[in-house]
Structure 1
């Protein structure tokens, strides 16, 4: 019997919202991002795959004005106002010792032993997979009707020292503002390369 495959292609509107029409925002409308929405974003992003289900991403959600002002102090001049005025800014970091959680996250085998004694390897894997989780976060936020403003222009050492002070093995990597974007603050879209420019099929 021939297996039947279902066409689960997302609608054009959904793809536009998540990818084609989505933009990186520099300014925000004065509308709250709720704690429920933050939980909804996480509950989606956690379903994205990571190597050995390692989930190295560690997230600090700066929602209070005090926390956003503090984060803005650690940002480049062009990013300060974006951070201060966004309803929420999430710090995407990673745990160098993510392997300590693998006995319950990946119980099929002794995955923890794969990473013991190799801190450089753990840092590389944690950075790569937490960056994936940050991308899932942006897709989840957009899917839920929110806009994003990813930024790397922050002093990561200072952000790590302050926001991960209680977790000495965590490292900040980048930040992303989330809210309801003000369309008047976006630039013209930068070029996007055609398939043949950076792809080949072997």
Structure 2
């Protein structure tokens, strides 16, 4: 069984006519014990030791890793399970050259040397899938009536899924280089218009050269958070 099959096994519904006569209900997982282990290897890979690369190694990404990555990301929650994120993995020299024409100069080297740059996009018509994705209610009319509302929902939730993508990639041992410096309209015209998708941001994926520089300062809890 592949990793993807293991991940989705619990989500596979058994048709009514195939429901076993006796169904064994599995015990729920034990609740996580607090406090968490802040020194765990998983937290270190995802947050504590992770850095935006300054350069990539020549190591390539196995194609199966893309599928494993998506199989993890798709499990993250979105509003009404809208799941609007769409991904285009740009890895061939020809595709990279097309993408180059939409980049700001500062991002050209990062894209051209990365094993793959992902166009993290969204589908403005995500609601057409809600019959499958959210069978609890007739959710399509919630969004289909208003283009502005559906696009706002798509951007917000694809950004949320983009965050899951970065964390999942780091946990799979990949390094991540998120980018904003590009011409969205040109990327859409070059890669997405035939599908109706729209670009949100770019994400370089690969294996980074060792980073020895210190992390830039982050804002403190007291500066950014309020408990009321």
Q: Superposed, which structure 2 residues align to 1:44-123 within 5 Å? A: 44-123=72-151
| Residue 18 (str. 1) matches residue 46 (str. 2) | yes
Partner in structure 1 of residue 176 of structure 2: 148
| Residue 201 (str. 1) matches residue 216 (str. 2) | no
Unaligned regions of 5+ residues in structure 2, if any? 1-29
Instruction: Provide the TM-score with structure 1 as the length reference.
Output: 0.92
| Residue 189 (str. 1) matches residue 181 (str. 2) | no
Match of 2:204 among 177, 186, 196: 177
| Residue 5 (str. 1) matches residue 31 (str. 2) | yes
Per-residue deviation at 1:163?
Answer: 0.6
CA contact (8 A) 2:98 2:190 kept: no
CA contact (8 A) 1:50 1:129 kept: yes
Whose RCO is larger (CA < 8 A, sep 6+)?
1
Per-residue deviation at 1:68?
Answer: 1.7
Give, in whole Å, the separation in 2 of the partners of 1:122 and 1:6: 36
CA contact (8 A) 1:94 1:171 kept: yes
Deviations along 1:66-123, whole A, 9 cap, x unmatched?
A: 1122212210001001000000110011111111110110001001011121100011
Deviations along 1:44-82, whole A, 9 cap, x unmatched?
A: 000100000001001100121211222122100010010
| Residue 163 (str. 1) matches residue 191 (str. 2) | yes
Per-residue deviation at 1:7?
Answer: 2.1
Larger radius of gyration: 2
CA contact (8 A) 1:72 1:81 kept: no
State the number of aligned residues. 197
Instruction: Provide the TM-score with structure 2 as the length reference.
Output: 0.82
Per-residue deviation at 1:165?
Answer: 2.9
Per-residue deviation at 1:187?
Answer: 5.4
* Paired residue secondary structure (1:96): coil
Give, in whole Å, the separation in 1 of the partners of 2:67 and 2:31: 33
Let me know the Cα RMSD of the aligned residues: 1.6
